[in-house]
Amino acid sequence: MGTQQLTDGGHVLIRVINPNTTAAMTEKIGVAAREVALPQTRIVATHPRSGPVSIESHFDEAVAAVGVIEEVRDGERAGTDAYVLACFGDPGLLAAREITRAPVIGIAEAAFHMATLVATRFSVVTTLGRTAIIAEHLLQSYGFSGHCRRVRAAEIPVLELESDPDAAYHRIVEEGRRAKAEDGIGAIVLGCGGMADLRHRIAEAVGLPVVEGVTAAVKLAEGLVQLGLATSKHGDLAHPRPKAFTGMFQHLGA
């Protein structure tokens, strides 16, 4: 973890990791992160060298988590001050926290926290029905089920956010308007890192506060660095016990 803090005038390095391997999405995520970052924050947007081109299942998440770990290991060598995992499934989040003292923020957890600060109830608009179920699991795991009224799927494959962004935008807005009319909510959470560039347009079209996880996570990461708070190394987030790995994972061993 780097030693500079926002309060001492030094630059802070935040590594924003897109856990899939689609370069165009990584670039879009980086632009959104830089838009909200403080002038002294340096954003490095990156993605694994190997893995799925999009993450839409438990299987995809399991494969992507290895790439996330490798990106964090690279970030440690670069003196990174905080990490953002820019996939709404938060793949590999706890494993990433084990191998660094720097804060590691998943965009789903960040968005849920932020939404509760601007509304007493929110709904999530995500991509596919099957990933809506994954989001429901996360809401329960993170303790936000009581705040979320519904997880809605716009039935958009993740890569359609890149290939047909206008159609995807209109479907997300349509689902957001249904949520506003039917769910009794005060805010909407966008359930995919690939929606990072849409938050202002959707908020204007729907007429509710819209919380987007990449930008929310960047601000939380900056805050933790400014407060001097690091990932605890007492208990289950202590560094993993040294051991040998075999085969294709040999390089991850002690």
Predicted pLDDT at 2: 47
pLDDT over 80 (residue 40): yes
Mean pLDDT score, 12-32: 98
29 lies in the same domain as 121: no
CB contact at 8 A, 86 and 107? yes
167-221 pLDDT, tens digit per residue, is: 999 999 999 999 999 999 999 999 999 999 999 999 999 999 999 999 999 999 9
| Same domain (yes/no): 92, 162 | no
Residue 86 is part of which domain span? 6-106+215-252
**148 and 159 fall within a common domain:** yes
Do residues 190 and 221 both lie within one domain? no
Q: Same domain for 47 and 166?
A: no
**Is the CA virtual torsion 29, 34, 35, 38 positive or negative?**
positive
Answer yes or no: do 120 and 134 share one domain: yes
pLDDT band at 231 (very low <50, low <70, confident <90, very high): very high
Checking if the pLDDT of 4 tops 90, the result is no
* Per-residue exposure over 148-184, b if at least 16 CB sit within 10 Å of its own CB, e if not: bbbbbbbebebbbbbeeeeebbebbbebbbbbbeebe
- When divided into structural domains, the chain yields a total of 2
Q: Is the pLDDT of residue 6 over 60?
A: no
pLDDT band at 9 (very low <50, low <70, confident <90, very high): low
Q: Phi, psi at residue 186, to the nearest 5°?
A: -115, -5
Identify the CATH number of the domain in which residue 176 sits. 3.40.50.12500
Both 118 and 240 in a single domain? no
> Tell me, what's the pLDDT at 212?
98
Percent of all residues in the chain with a pLDDT value above 90, rounded to a whole number: 94
Average pLDDT, the chain: 95
Looking at the fold, whether 157 and 177 belong to one and the same domain comes out as yes
The reply to whether 59 and 138 lie within a common domain is no
First to last CA, the chain: 19
7 pLDDT more than 50: no
| Whether 207 and 224 share a structural domain | no
Same domain for 199 and 141? yes
Confidence of residue 254 (pLDDT cuts 50, 70, 90): confident
Residue 177 in contact with residue 149, Cβ under 8 Å?
Answer: no
1 in any annotated domain = no
pLDDT of residue 128: 96
pLDDT of 47 = 98
